[in-house]
Structure 1
Amino acid sequence: MTYLGVIGGSGLYEIDGLENPTWTTVETPWGAPSDQILTGTLDGVKMAFLPRHGRGHVHSPTTVPYRANIDALKRLGVTDVISVSACGSFREEMAPGDFVIIDQFIDRTFAREKSFFGTGCVAHVSVAHPTCPRLSAACLAAAIDAGITVHDGGTYLAMEGPQFSSVAESKMYRESWGADVIGMTNMPEAKLAREAELCYASVAMITDFDSWHPDHGAVDITEIIKTLQDNADKGRSLVARLPALLGPERAPCPHGCDRALEYAILTAPDKRDPALLAKLDAVAGRVL
């Protein structure tokens, strides 16, 4: 059965048309998630919405409890996660107000816990293809149907923040590294979703051209907020179309996202830390 989780970023704090909406408190071994989770159904599909920064935007990109967020969604029974987040653009053709369906990441974050695993239970999952093509295709179709200008595929550079880039950094990411957009929140979120065997798709909503653009200069926060508000309306429209596209019945992921841990755990069973295993009950219970 499909259970769709939506992690909403800056500007997106609700799902329109949700039936029987209930704010649910979910406790995790990794601490409290960013907020309560809004659950309900939409077009016969179970939905869970988590505001990434918390209602009222209380968490910075660095302090978002990424592990707790992914664990909480998995603990609820979520099978598929859509990340919706604001970003800056490195490409003239990817303009403010456009959306990008992300398929690659460059992770430049450094102050965040990036794995559920560690000493006592070591695991290595592949993030060569960090987003789910099936779920990304549904997001693309929903965006097109909603009349949104959308780009199919793009590389998202995840920076630590909370400051925006210098001009030198922005030019390096764009010209030398080949990134298409820049944001602060999709890492380690995408890596953790893969460890939790959740299909993950990223919808990046462009708010600005970052600081490389000669005609735009420094990022203007007032312009960003205006574009954020416009993008939020489009984001809700996209999300509202996803249940009908995905349907209530769910087959195993053809790309193996839901089996990512099949051969990932390397620690011998008799050497595994029972305390860590207990914390992994939701994330890795299928293989443990």
Structure 2
Amino acid sequence: MTQTKLGIIGGSGVYDMDGLEATEWQTVETPWGPPSDALLTGRLSGLDVVFLPRHGRGHVHTPGSVPYRANIDALKRLGVTDVISVSACGSFRDEMAPGDFVIVDQYIDRTFDRAKSFFGPGCVGHVSVAHPTCPRLSGVCADAARASGVTVHDSGTYLAMEGPQFSTLAESRMYRDHWGADVIGMTGMPEAKLAREAELCYASAAMVTDYDSWHPDHGEVDVAQIIATLSGNAEKARNMVRRIATTLAPDRAPCPHGCDRALDFAVLTAPESRDPGLVARLDAVAGRVL
């Protein structure tokens, strides 16, 4: 039976993971370049854990420069089976207030300048992202966040924008009133798509920091406001992770939603027509089927 290994991708304001035992920062090489930073490995409540700061320690990566493929490959290469993504977001809903956590279950991808797939010419693959997050892991995440004293919304549609600028007022109103988005951020995509291609169970806990620019009573977004809210939420996010580690079983059963078998019928290129170079780069994320 597969052993559970929990991966944590820390977003803005979450650059480390205290409480781990037997810790080591490991430098991981991937065929897609270096990940955002070294990865912190250790154990938490008897569970193997790998932590990766999405923007790097010191926040050196913009949302567009985050090496998403390298990050997911590095986690998979270290044996991670389940990934919790922690990120900051703006809210389009009055009831999703700053300080709340939203467990994302849908995305609208408006990013345009990022590599979004491990596959390509010479090895074509198509995975389903109709349901881009894992319901099982999302449920665990919601319960853990709630037990940590956070107001939690069990579902929400995340509008992933390119950034790094915040939305115009017209964009904010359109996303909210016409597109039905609940929250907005800059890093949810292509991370979720790549996690699915790598057959990782993936859940996203988005921490609301502001009301974007649509809200008539709150004005435009500024970084000082975001940082102030993140500072209050960072420890709650760590507490959530600690509770998740106590919930997940060390022996991992197959995902009931098929996340760990997403590539079963995804690769279209005939074996004799596959590019050996690309196949070699896919050793970690798609080695099971290739």
TM-score (normalised: structure 2): 0.99
Conserved? CA contact 1:62–1:160, under 8 Å:
yes
Matched, 1:10 2:5: no
Pairing of 1:240-255 with structure 2 (within 5 A): 240-255=242-257
Aligned-partner SS, 1:38: strand
**One-letter identity of the residue aligned with 1:20:** A
The answer for the alignment partner of 1:61 in structure 2 is 63
Distance 1:74 1:39 in 2: 13
Q: CA deviation digits over 1:12-48, x for unaligned, max 9?
A: 1122210011100000000000000000000111000
Provide Cα deviations, 1:91-135, integer angstroms capped at 9, x if missing partner.
Answer: 000000000000000000000000000000000000000000010
Of 261, 264, 269, which aligns to 1:262? 264
Q: Distance in 2 between matches of 1:196 and 1:85?
A: 20
Query: Which residue does the alignment assign to 1:83?
Result: 85
**Pairing 1:1-288 to 2, within 5 Å after superposition:** 1-288=3-290
Q: Give the Cα–Cα distance (whole angstroms) in 2 for the partners of residues 226 and 232 of structure 1.
A: 10
Question: For the residues of structure 2 that align with 1:143 and 1:224, how far apart are their CA atoms?
Answer: 20
CA–CA separation in structure 2 for the residues paired with 1:247 and 1:206:
29
Secondary structure, counterpart of 1:87 in structure 2: strand
Q: Which runs of 5+ in 1 are unaligned?
A: none
Q: CA RMSD in A?
A: 0.5
CA distance in 2: counterparts of 1:222 and 1:62, whole angstroms: 21
Aligned residues: 288
- Mapped to 1, the partners of 2:88 and 2:261 lie a distance apart of 29
Determine helix, strand or coil for the equivalent of 2:83.
strand
Shift of 1:240: 1.0
Q: Is the 8 A contact 1:109 1:159 kept in 2?
A: yes
Following TM superposition, by how much is the alpha carbon of 1:234 offset from its aligned partner in structure 2, in angstroms? 1.0
Q: CA offset at residue 8 of structure 1?
A: 0.3
CA distance in 2, matches of 1:13, 1:84: 11
Letter in 1 for 2:14: L
Paired residue type of 2:274 = R
Name the SS of the counterpart of 2:207 in structure 1. Answer: strand
Q: Is the 8 A contact 1:62 1:161 kept in 2?
A: yes
Distance 2:239 2:128 in 1: 32
Which segments of structure 1 move beyond 6 Å, counting only runs of 4 or more? none
Contact 1:124 1:264 (C-alpha < 8 Å) held by counterparts: yes
CA distance in 2, matches of 1:36, 1:247: 26
Contact 1:15 1:239 in 2 (8 A): no
Tell me the CA shift for residue 220 of structure 1: 2.4
Counterpart residue type for residue 144 of structure 2: A
For normalisation by structure 1, the TM-score amounts to: 0.99
Gaps of 5+ in 2: none
State the SS of the aligned residue for 2:63: coil
SS of residue matched to 2:184: strand
